[in-house]
Structure 1
Amino acid sequence: MAVWDKNLLWSFMFLLAGAVGQTVIYPLTSTCAVRGSTVTLPCTFTPRKSFSDGWREVPLKIVRVRWCKNHEICQGSTPSVFDINSTNSDPRYQYLGDMKTNCTLQIRDVQQGDSATFRFRMEADHPEGHFINRTGVTVRVDDGSKIIIISSSDDKKLSRGETVTLLCASVCTFHQLEVTWFKDGHTFSDTGPSLRLHSLTAEDSGNYTCALKKNMKTLSEPYSLQVEAGAGGNLPPIPGVVFVVLLAVIALVLFIIERRLRAAEDQRAAEPS
């Protein structure tokens, strides 16, 4: 084989290896987010390490990463929701990745305008290292109007001392929701999607509701929780003991009276008529 043919073959092999090794992977190609909540778009990428200029292998270095909305190429002056080289990015879009393998994007305070397809693009110090996965991640935004409470227990009547967890969720998701919890109209300090009630007492009985922290119009239907005292629970410890002692004394007195009555009857029966 001629020297020129060998060089051409090696160049083709380097090009093929670079193309195969260069990837952007979206574990989720579509997701749902509640308006006002936070959604995370997982993403990983593998940059191209080098390319051949026909004579030698030239190393590549990633110098720019960016996310665009509703644009298949995301290059040049295309508006970005995040650009590592720009200081004008919307603070709602947080890049949780790096310049090596992680390209995860987080969207906070999701708005209706975030219903779109987001794509990640990496750029190297040479155009041979530029790459974008056009599949992207499609986000569907739900207004969160259907907020419900899900309980870890199927029984709404629980006994004193038990534990129950209430989950505030929407038809879309319950992950990363910031909510406000209420009991009989009074606000809890908890803001997470789950509310854990342990060592239940009668004071925990009541109607529980929740709503998105930034949208009180999403208030859920009340969830009624009733904590039962249980067997003997209506009596405090000390009066309960006294009650048992009294029962024993009464039983003893009745037993003594019964024996005396029987003895009297036996004596009368033994007397001559």
Structure 2
Amino acid sequence: MGQTVNYSGAVCAVKNSTVTLPCTFKPFESLIEDGRQVFPQVIRVRWCKNHEICQGTTPSVYNSDSKYNDPRYRYLGDMKGNCTLQIRNVKMADNATLRFRMELNYSTGHFTGRSGVVVRVVEGTQMRIKGSSDGGMMREGETVTLRCTSACTFHQLEVTWSRNDRDLQEFGSALQLGPLTAEDSGNYTCGLKKNPRTRSLPYMLHVQPVETVNKGIKVDNLRIVQLVLFTVHTVCIIIVAYSVIKRTCV
């Protein structure tokens, strides 16, 4: 079976964020060299930008043989089958097609995944908050999860949160609140720490105190009782009136 490199597909990345490019590869399990079967090993891996072959003296964003790789590019893979690459502090210059190349201890086994992965960098995309409950209306004692989402990918640990324009200590793409109290009410926003242009529109969360809820239930029940009594009273009056009128006529 031939060699392969599989990419995750095109990626949209937000400037100043961190993005991960999932990637897997499979080298030859065996080769025929000088008439005999050999079992090659991967001795070097590389990632290049905007180069179809990524070989020779082609500049690399990552080279396993080099000690001078750009620190913004972190190789999360290995020499066996994982070629995942992470780009930190994404810049507009990262708007490119990146390709992975594996090199074996036999030159006939060198291989580049030519399809590559296209990275599209945007200056800023506004985040959006989605709540686990509809409408942002909650009651004391309940729990709710707010999620910070975007059309582009981003590293979840870079997300910051605020309530009523005051920064919260929590970080990450999901903010879990609960058991809720009335103090949790307010306008929540999220965004990337290094890119203020991504700040979301406010998400209004209103936590209703238990006493208010119970009071509302009691009021509703009282109104129902009053309505029933009024109806019964009205029916009784009609019956009495009908009886009187009938006797008078007779």
TM class, shorter-chain normalised? 0.7 to 0.9
Is 1:168 paired with 2:168? no
Is 1:24 paired with 2:24? no
**Structure 2 residue identity aligned to 1:201:** T
Q: Which of 168, 189, 193 does residue 209 from structure 1 map onto?
A: 189
Matches within 5 A, 1:79-98: 79-98=59-78
Separation (CA, whole Å) in 2 of partners of 1:96 and 1:38: 13
Separation (CA, whole Å) in 1 of partners of 2:164 and 2:94: 35
Matches within 5 A, 1:66-105: 66-105=46-85
Q: Give the match's secondary structure for 2:78.
A: coil
**Structure 2 residue identity aligned to 1:222:** P
Shift in Å, 1:94: 1.0
Q: What is the match of residue 239 of structure 1?
A: none
Does the aligned pair in 1 maintain the 2:19–2:154 contact within 8 Å? no
Q: What is the match of residue 95 of structure 2?
A: 115
Q: What is the match of residue 57 of structure 1?
A: 37
Is 1:151 paired with 2:126? no
Q: Give the match's secondary structure for 2:83.
A: coil
Change (3 A) 1:60 1:177: same
Q: Deviations over 1:113-143 (max 9, x none)?
A: 2121111100112211100110011112233
Change (3 A) 1:174 1:200: farther
Shift in Å, 1:197: 0.6
Separation (CA, whole Å) in 2 of partners of 1:143 and 1:218: 9
Structure 1 stretch displaced more, 28-37 or 193-202: 28-37
Separation (CA, whole Å) in 1 of partners of 2:155 and 2:191: 14
Unaligned stretches of 5+ residues in structure 1 = 1-19, 236-273
Separation (CA, whole Å) in 1 of partners of 2:139 and 2:33: 76
Q: TM-score, normalised by structure 1?
A: 0.73
Separation (CA, whole Å) in 1 of partners of 2:13 and 2:36: 48
Does the aligned pair in 2 maintain the 1:160–1:229 contact within 8 Å? yes
Q: What is the match of residue 244 of structure 2?
A: none
What CA RMSD, in Å, does the superposition of the two structures yield over aligned residues? 1.9
Does the aligned pair in 2 maintain the 1:32–1:142 contact within 8 Å? yes
Change (3 A) 1:210 1:192: same
Separation (CA, whole Å) in 2 of partners of 1:174 and 1:154: 25
Q: What is the match of residue 271 of structure 1?
A: none
Shift in Å, 1:172: 2.0
Q: TM-score, normalised by structure 2?
A: 0.79
Unaligned stretches of 5+ residues in structure 2 = 216-250
Greater strand proportion = 2
Shift in Å, 1:231: 4.7
Larger relative contact order, structure 1 or 2 (CA cutoff 8 Å, min sep 6): 2
Q: What is the match of residue 265 of structure 1?
A: none
Deviant stretches of 4+, over 4 Å: 231-235
Shift in Å, 1:171: 2.6
The sequence identity of aligned pairs, in percent, is 57
Shift in Å, 1:54: 4.5
Highest CA radius of gyration, 1 or 2? 1
Q: Give the match's secondary structure for 2:141.
A: coil
Q: What is the match of residue 242 of structure 1?
A: none
Q: What is the match of residue 110 of structure 2?
A: 130
Is 1:140 paired with 2:96? no
Shift in Å, 1:168: 1.6
Does the aligned pair in 2 maintain the 1:23–1:46 contact within 8 Å? yes
Q: Give the match's secondary structure for 2:65.
A: coil
Separation (CA, whole Å) in 2 of partners of 1:204 and 1:161: 11
Q: Give the match's secondary structure for 2:62.
A: strand
Is 1:181 paired with 2:166? no
Change (3 A) 1:198 1:174: farther
Does the aligned pair in 2 maintain the 1:38–1:107 contact within 8 Å? yes
Q: Give the match's secondary structure for 2:162.
A: strand
Q: Give the match's secondary structure for 2:170.
A: coil
| Count of aligned pairs | 215
